[in-house]
Amino acid sequence: MQEKTKNIILNLIGILYIILGVGAIINTIYIELGLAPILWLCYIGVILIGIGFLMKNYLLVLSQLNILAIPLLFWNIDFYSILLTGNSLFGITEYFFISGPLIGKIISSQHLFTIPLAIYTIYLIKIKSNAWLISFFQITIVFFITRLISSPDQNINCVFKSCMNIQFTGFYPLIWFIGFFVIIFVTNFILMNILFLREAGRVIGTIKK
């Protein structure tokens, strides 16, 4: 693919994602009448992925994929379970199938294509090093800010309790961090070892550059 064509594709996808992210934030503020819901990791991630596309910055895109890929995979499984069988497996996408503003559903549909589109973009940019430390630093900051300015009723980013119909026993913040560390580490490891995503001639391990 010619460099000019690749840049056009990256720029168009980047603009699309920024529009979706900003639209999601505006829509959320309008509906929720508050600022706390804009802290959802998927909203933050969509905007940062869009910026990463525009800047051709693989670290920005990869760091967000590390955080979002597995949660979005569960979202998609639950979505298609309801779509095909009428039953929710995890209890996380019922909101999509109840009556509500169309704009919200259009914005939420980004859950369906964020993973493949971001992977395609990384294929164009190529991975040169790991991004799991950036991902973990981000979720740590977001966790404490979310706990500080939101409420258990909102349960943004599931920081107070599980967002699925599966509950956990024990010290929940520790469970949350362990869960996200595993999500980030596993996703980073998988993406690092997909050959067509890597820069030619560069061998990348899970920890070492």
Query: What pLDDT digit, counting tens, does each position of 156-204 carry?
Result: 999 999 888 777 788 999 999 999 999 999 999 999 988 788 875 454 4
> What was the pLDDT predicted at 1?
66
Whole-angstrom Cα distance, residue 72 to residue 111? 6
Sign, Cα dihedral of 18, 11, 108, 118: negative
209 assigned to some structural domain: no
208 assigned to some structural domain: no
Q: Which pair of tokens denotes residue 168?
A: 């956990």
207 assigned to some structural domain: no
> What was the pLDDT predicted at 78?
94
> What was the pLDDT predicted at 98?
87
205 assigned to some structural domain: no
Q: Cβ distance 21 to 47 under 8 Å?
A: yes
Provide the domain count of the chain. 1
Element (H, E) at 197: none
Whole-angstrom Cα distance, residue 24 to residue 46? 9
Element (H, E) at 206: none
pTM: 0.87
115 assigned to some structural domain: yes
> What was the pLDDT predicted at 207?
43
SS3 per residue for 100-121: CCHHHHHHHCHHHHHHHHHHHH
202 assigned to some structural domain: no
> What was the pLDDT predicted at 32?
63
Task: Read off the pLDDT of each residue in 13-21 and give the average, rounded to a whole number.
Answer: 90
123 assigned to some structural domain: yes
Task: Read off the pLDDT of each residue in 86-114 and give the average, rounded to a whole number.
Answer: 86
pLDDT greater at residue 190 or residue 208: 190
Domain of 132, in residue numbers: 3-197
pLDDT digits (tens, 9 = 90+) for 31-81: 765 778 788 998 899 999 999 999 999 999 999 999 999 999 999 999 999
pLDDT of residue 209 exceeding 70, the answer is no
> What was the pLDDT predicted at 108?
85
195, 56, 201, 186: which is closest to 121 by C-alpha? 56
Classify residue 197 by burial, with Cβ atoms within 10 Å: 0-12, 13-18, 19+.
buried
pLDDT digits (tens, 9 = 90+) for 68-87: 999 999 999 999 999 999 99
Give the single-character DSSP code of 201.
T
